């Protein structure tokens, strides 16, 4: 399909190229274009739609709220919708997990939450250095960009690398435990690493290629932070809100970060971000970090509605059941194509099928799109297919989507094989 916005919208548009359709309606895990084509959604608004498109409970609450002329915009004044959300968040999410955090509302994007978290850690410790990790993705405003690994997003002219050191994430150096390197660098006064204000990490790197850190690595990093008086910031923007199988992705490891960034699915499709702060380090002066859109009451209303899922004791098991279905099918795809050494990793409902080749993954994404499935790539060269359906997807739709994915992989591998056999007799090309 021709891109109708080519002449109007900036060249920066990205997903419009990946999914060449004009989308129109969506319910649950199905999204429909203006030509009436349905797509199964394994993309999930890059992790913003964990509860599905137009989630029924959120939609009903929003309709009621708008119908009653509820406040829409409020900066950080107190509104009934905000009080409702905060009370429920504390009762349903924080208290049962034994977590004691203050909640800061930031501007509505993930990168806004990261900026606030890092600023607060710097202000409170009176140190400016931050440790981030290889393949990290924390957003694109200049502060957050400095923490983001992939060179594709950088330009030397942004001047954004100040005061950040990237160290190897878990698994980056094969079996070597990279927390030992962090330990050595922190212990050695001659390592060249200034004592950081914070260590920031994603427990599962989403954009970075679905890299899953182990519980022991996280525990070691958390205890190093504690020993050295460094704040541990967990960026749970993509893998929080149940994506990892539990509400917070760090619950599996039993660590308690000093600061947590939450965004994307918290508002169930409505823009909203929060930073959770250990009370002792909440040293902001009133109004010191502001933003016009910290008071999006429509987001408070939909966020409040979907918190109810976490009142259901069977919800985590439902996520796990879907997780098992995905793992099984992805492992079967790998076994079928054993000569291509594909690999699988993930947890909860974020899974990566590593094709070890960006071209092959791109071809698979195109094949999937043409057959009615939305899925995106991740990793340094987009070589990992990120399988990220809604937590609420019906199992039959999940299986249907996985079947489309399998056929898309088969077709991409077969066409690469046939191109390879042709190039043996013609000109050599880069076909992986
Ligand atoms: C882990 C993580 N942090 C931060 C961000 C940035 O969020 P936003 O795009 O809303 O600014 C993202 C976005 O994908 C993310 O995955």
Q: Identify the CATH number of the domain in which residue 283 sits.
A: 3.40.640.10
145 three-class SS = helix
User: Would you say the pTM of this structure is higher than 0.75?
Assistant: yes
pLDDT in tens, 1-53: 667 888 899 999 999 999 999 999 999 999 999 999 999 999 999 999 999 99
Both tokens assigned to 423? 């190039």
Q: Which numbered atom of ligand 1 lies nearest the CA of 109?
A: 10
Report the alpha-carbon distance of residue 132 to residue 245 in Å, rounded.
24
DSSP strands (E only) in 150-270: 164-167, 198-201, 204-205, 211-212, 231-235, 259-262
Count of domains for the chain = 1
Please indicate, yes or no, if residue 45 is contained in any of the structural domains.
no
Please indicate, yes or no, if residue 224 is contained in any of the structural domains.
yes
Please indicate, yes or no, if residue 200 is contained in any of the structural domains.
yes
Please indicate, yes or no, if residue 192 is contained in any of the structural domains.
yes
Ligand 1: centre distance to CA 381 (Å): 18
Please indicate, yes or no, if residue 211 is contained in any of the structural domains.
yes
Ligand 1: centre distance to CA 238 (Å): 7
List residues bridging with 233 in a β-sheet.
200, 259
What does each of the 432 residues of the chain score in pLDDT, given as a tens digit? Answer: 667 888 899 999 999 999 999 999 999 999 999 999 999 999 999 999 999 999 999 999 999 999 999 999 999 999 999 999 999 999 999 999 999 999 999 999 999 999 999 999 999 999 999 999 999 999 999 999 999 999 999 998 888 777 999 999 999 999 999 999 999 999 999 999 999 999 999 999 999 999 999 999 999 999 999 999 999 999 999 999 999 999 999 999 999 999 999 999 999 999 999 999 999 999 999 999 999 999 899 999 999 999 999 999 999 999 999 999 999 999 999 999 998 889 999 999 999 999 999 999 999 999 999 999 999 999 999 999 999 999 999 999 999 999 999 999 999 999 888 877 776 655 544 456
Please indicate, yes or no, if residue 319 is contained in any of the structural domains.
no
Report the alpha-carbon distance of residue 107 to residue 121 in Å, rounded.
18
Residues at CB less than 6 angstroms from ligand 1: 46, 109-111, 114, 137-139, 202, 206-207, 235, 237-238, 263
Ligand 1: centre distance to CA 270 (Å): 15
Please indicate, yes or no, if residue 189 is contained in any of the structural domains.
yes
pLDDT in tens, 189-232: 999 999 999 999 999 999 999 999 999 999 999 999 999 999 99
Q: Whole domain around residue 121: which residue ranges?
A: 58-311
Ligand 1: centre distance to CA 428 (Å): 39
* pLDDT of amino acid 421: 78
Q: Which numbered atom of ligand 1 lies nearest the CA of 112?
A: 11
Ligand 1: centre distance to CA 197 (Å): 21
* pLDDT of amino acid 153: 92
Q: How many CB atoms lie within 10 A of CB 283?
A: 11
DSSP state letters, 58-101: HHHHHHHHHHTT---B-TTS--HHHHHHHHHIIIIIIGGGT---
Q: Which numbered atom of ligand 1 lies nearest the CA of 264?
A: 10
Q: 375, 43 in Cβ contact below 8 A?
A: yes
Please indicate, yes or no, if residue 324 is contained in any of the structural domains.
no
């Amino acid at each position: 399909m021709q891109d109708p916005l080519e002449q109007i919208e900036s060249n920066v548009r990205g997903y419009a190229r990946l999914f060449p359709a004009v989308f129109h309606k969506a319910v649950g895990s199905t999204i429909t274009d203006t030509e009436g084509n349905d797509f199964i959604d394994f993309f999930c608004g890059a992790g913003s739609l964990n509860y599905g498109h137009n989630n029924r409970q959120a939609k009903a609450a929003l309709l009621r709220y708008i119908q009653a002329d509820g406040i829409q915009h409020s900066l950080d004044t107190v509104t009934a919708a905000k009080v409702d959300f905060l009370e429920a968040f504390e009762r349903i999410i924080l208290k049962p997990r034994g977590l004691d955090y203050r909640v800061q509302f930031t501007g509505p994007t993930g990168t806004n939450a990261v900026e606030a978290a890092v600023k607060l850690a710097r202000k409170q410790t009176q140190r400016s250095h931050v440790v981030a990790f290889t393949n990290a993705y924390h957003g694109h405003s200049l502060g957050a960009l400095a923490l983001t690994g992939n060179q594709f997003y950088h330009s030397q002219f942004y001047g954004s690398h100040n005061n950040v050191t990237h160290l190897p994430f878990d698994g980056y150096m094969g079996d070597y435990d990279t927390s030992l390197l962090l330990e050595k660098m922190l212990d050695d006064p001659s390592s060249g690493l200034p004592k950081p204000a914070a260590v920031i990490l994603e427990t599962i790197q989403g954009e970075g290629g679905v890299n899953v850190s182990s519980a022991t690595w996280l525990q070691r990093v958390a205890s190093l932070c504690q020993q050295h008086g460094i704040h541990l910031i967990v960026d749970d923007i993509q893998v929080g809100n149940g994506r990892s199988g539990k509400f917070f992705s760090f619950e599996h490891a039993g660590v308690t970060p000093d600061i947590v960034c939450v965004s994307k699915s918290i508002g169930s499709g409505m823009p909203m971000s929060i930073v959770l702060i250990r009370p002792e380090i909440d040293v902001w002066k009133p109004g010191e970090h502001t933003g016009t859109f910290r008071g999006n009451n429509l987001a408070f209303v939909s966020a409040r509605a979907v918190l109810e899922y976490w009142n259901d004791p069977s919800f985590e098991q439902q996520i796990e059941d879907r997780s098992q279905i995905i793992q099984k099918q992805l492992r079967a795809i790998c076994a079928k194509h054993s000569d291509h050494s594909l690999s699988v990793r993930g947890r909860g409902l974020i899974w990566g099928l590593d094709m070890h080749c960006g071209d092959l993954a791109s071809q698979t994404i195109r094949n999937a799109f043409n057959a009615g499935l939305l899925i995106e790539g991740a990793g340094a060269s987009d070589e990992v297919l990120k399988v990220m359906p809604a937590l609420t997807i019906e199992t039959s739709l999940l299986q249907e989507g996985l079947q489309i994915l399998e056929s898309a992989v088969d077709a991409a591998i077969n066409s690469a094989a046939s191109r390879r056999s042709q190039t043996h007799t013609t000109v050599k090309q880069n076909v992986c």
